Amino acid sequence: MSGHSKWSTIKRKKEKEDAKKGKVFTKIIKEITVAAKIGGGDIESNPRLRSAIDAAKSANMPKDNIDKAVKKGTGELPGVVYEESTYEGYGPAGIAIIVDVLSDNKNRTTAEIRHLFSKHNGNMGEKGCVSWMFEKKGLITVPKDRVNEEALFEVALEIGAEDIRSEGESHEIFTEVHDLYKIKDELEKKGIPVESVEMGKFPSTMVKLEQKDLEKNLKLLSALEDLDDVSAVYSNLDIPDDFEFNE
């Protein structure tokens, strides 16, 4: 499940740039609304909602906007109904791609995603064509320069983590989704600094490509991320830590 940390770094940088434009608010509000609708408005029992609200706070979204989005999800306020769906396909050179979507117009979204796959020399596939390669997990990153790997490994396994890997400048701690915030809170209680927390779909194996194909795939992944209805994009593309992506 490791090897994706560079894409996470690229996404975080992109999200910060989008946040300056206010563009990221739309996606976060959709995610908060759907998370609250599915799992309720209590963040203690709804890790997906807690993750979405954390993202909103990181993007400096006003508290009033967050509260309204939660209430629209729980039905306390009227709001747009978003449909959750997933698309699967292949990028150039055959990497596996999953696109999670929250949309109020599925036909429009399907057409947009199909167009981008085609434009970037990929192929949108049938449901299930690549999802078997991915597993839904929680991920906590801890800065390498702040914690000894051996000590972290011992603590993380003791409090219920599934796996630990060291990638780039971070240690990566994988958890079951429902244990994600319990483990995050336990780490912080023990004085271990947490860099980021996310829930995602992680591939069992990664694919390394030559630079030309690597750049083609990153352009496709980035274009998919830019769509307003897209909530997350996952792939099994292995991006070297020293690779610099310029759109």
23, pLDDT greater than 90: no
Type of residue numbered 144: K
Q: Other CB atoms closer than 10 Å to residue 84's CB: what's the count?
A: 14
102, pLDDT greater than 90: yes
Q: What is the pTM of this model?
A: 0.87
Output helix, strand, coil percentages for the chain, rounded to the nearest 5: 50, 20, 30
pLDDT at 146: 87
User: DSSP letter string over 67-90?
Assistant: HHHHHHHHTSS--PPPEEEEEEEE
- Indicate the pLDDT class of residue 170, thresholds 50, 70 and 90: confident
What percentage of the chain carries pLDDT values higher than 90? 68
pLDDT tens digits, one per residue of 112-158: 999 999 999 999 999 999 999 999 999 999 988 888 888 888 899 89
CB 141, CB 170: distance < 8 Å:
yes
User: End-to-end CA distance of the chain, in Å?
Assistant: 26
pLDDT tens digits, one per residue of 179-230: 999 999 999 999 999 988 989 999 988 999 999 999 999 999 999 998 989 9
Domains in the chain, CATH or no CATH each: 5-74 (1.10.10.200), 83-132+207-235 (3.30.70.980), 133-203 (3.30.70.980)
pLDDT at 167: 74
